């Protein structure tokens, strides 16, 4: 009988050691599960588990279950959240320079922005984020933003006057819509649909895929193809969680981050084109804007940020021009 008990005890002990060594990380984002952001988050989680042989797992929480974007950034810095996919605006709350990527009409398309983020400017942001409690695992794509509203078609800058526009907590968005004569209203992403439905805001600005996945177009009559601002989605790891990992585990997160960034960017780019066609087919009135007039109207935004970060703005503008060639 004793010969049977010893092997069983050893097996149980080995199982307990393996379980104790397995590491689960929590990842949060504020989008619905129909958003490509969620699909990419699951892809990242799967790659982490595969690359680690099951020694690391990632649990994904959608729909702001772990808090809105600003709250998740705070949680990252405190170490109460391990990973997040937060908005660019939330990221700017701890590293203001990140908001420069959102300078109006800076990029012709998303791939040009990716090229800049994968270069020297992106490296600068990674260093600053690391100094402020977060490790950048990838700059995901949040697309080029469009303006929707319930009051009138927006074609000229003057059409923006007086409109209450929902924006993320992002100083660049505040500056852009203020200089256009609109009233920017910061509202958490997960609360935007209700805010539009109840008239707390007349409109909002987001890439087509976000508008469609959150069903904003169902409570908005007009959509303007403004392409006024690019945004990225930082995939972040808490510095607290990061420092508790082995070098091998850190490498796994970096590799999974790189692979999921490519996956997410390609999916988001295609999804934005597809969802725009579906929004138009739904009956929303879609119009072009007078881009030259808008570019002229937002000149003061460049003046303000160039005064604050002259070298960075010039570096970014030069890199964006080269990427767009």
> Tens digits of per-residue pLDDT, 123-145?
999 999 999 999 999 999 999 99
Mean per-residue pLDDT for 8-31? 63
pLDDT at 20 over 60: no
pLDDT at 58: 97
Rounded CA-CA distance 194/202 in Å is 11
| pLDDT greater at residue 54 or residue 6 | 54
| pLDDT band, very low/low/confident/very high, at 89 (cuts 50, 70, 90) | confident
Mean per-residue pLDDT for 241-249? 96
| Alpha helix segments (H runs only) across 100-214 | 110-117, 120-130, 171-179, 192-197, 208-213
pLDDT tens per residue across span 221-237: 999 999 999 999 999 99
Domain that holds residue 174: 2-324
Whether 183 and 162 have beta carbons less than 8 Å apart is answered as yes
| pLDDT band, very low/low/confident/very high, at 7 (cuts 50, 70, 90) | very low
Whether 59 and 114 have beta carbons less than 8 Å apart is answered as no
22-26, 248-252, 299-303: range with lowest mean pLDDT: 22-26
Rounded percentage of the chain residues whose pLDDT exceeds 90: 85
9-13, 201-205, 265-269: range with lowest mean pLDDT: 9-13
pLDDT at 16 over 80: no
Mean per-residue pLDDT for 250-277? 95
Give bridge partners of residue 147 from the DSSP assignment. Answer: 205, 224
pLDDT at 6 over 60: no
pLDDT at 12: 38
| pLDDT band, very low/low/confident/very high, at 32 (cuts 50, 70, 90) | confident
How many structural domains does the chain have? 1
Look up the CATH number of the domain holding residue 227: 3.40.190.170
Mean per-residue pLDDT for 101-106? 97
pLDDT at 98: 94
Strand order in the sheet with 203-206: 183-186, 164-167, 203-206, 146-149, 222-225, 285-288
pLDDT tens per residue across span 205-217: 999 999 998 999 9
pLDDT at 21: 66
**Radius of gyration in angstroms for the set of CA atoms belonging to the chain, rounded to a whole number:** 22
Whether 63 and 32 have beta carbons less than 8 Å apart is answered as yes
Cβ atoms within 10 A of the Cβ of 12, count? Answer: 10
| pLDDT band, very low/low/confident/very high, at 102 (cuts 50, 70, 90) | very high
Average pLDDT of the residues of the chain: 91
Q: Are strands 230-238 and 183-186 parallel, antiparallel or unpaired?
A: unpaired
Please give the structure tokens belonging to residue 233.
Answer: 């989605």
């Amino acid at each position: 009988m004793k010969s049977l008990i010893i092997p069983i005890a050893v097996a149980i002990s080995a199982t307990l050691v393996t379980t104790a060594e397995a590491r689960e990380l929590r990842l949060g984002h504020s989008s619905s599960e129909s958003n490509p952001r969620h699909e990419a988050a699951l892809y990242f989680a799967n790659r982490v588990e595969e690359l680690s042989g099951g020694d690391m797992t990632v649990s994904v929480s959608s729909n702001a279950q772990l808090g809105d974007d600003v709250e998740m950034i705070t949680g990252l810095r405190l170490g109460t959240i391990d990973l997040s996919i937060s908005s660019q605006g939330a990221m700017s709350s701890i590293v203001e320079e990140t908001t420069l990527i959102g300078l109006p009409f800076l990029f012709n398309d998303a791939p040009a922005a990716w090229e800049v983020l994968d270069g020297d400017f992106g490296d600068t942001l990674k260093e600053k984020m690391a100094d402020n409690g977060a490790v950048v695992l990838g700059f995901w794509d949040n697309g080029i933003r469009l303006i929707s509203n319930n009051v009138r078609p927006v074609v000229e800058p003057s059409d923006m006057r007086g409109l209450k526009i929902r924006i993320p907590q992002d100083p660049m968005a505040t500056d852009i819509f203020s200089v256009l004569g609109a009233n920017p209203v910061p509202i958490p992403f997960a609360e935007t649909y209700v805010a539009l439905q109840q008239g707390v805001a007349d409109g909002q600005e987001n890439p087509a895929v976000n508008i469609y996945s959150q069903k904003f177009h169902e409570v908005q009559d007009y959509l303007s193809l403004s392409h006024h601002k690019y945004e990225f989605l930082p995939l972040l790891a808490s510095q607290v969680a990061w420092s508790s990992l082995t070098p091998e585990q850190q490498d796994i997160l970096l590799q999974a981050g790189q692979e999921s960034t490519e996956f997410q960017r390609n999916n988001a780019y295609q999804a934005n084109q597809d969802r725009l066609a579906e929004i138009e087919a739904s009956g929303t009135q879609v119009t072009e804007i007078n881009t030259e007039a808008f570019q002229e109207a937002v000149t003061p935004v460049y003046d303000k940020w160039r005064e604050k970060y002259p070298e960075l703005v010039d570096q970014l503008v030069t890199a964006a021009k080269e990427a767009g060639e």
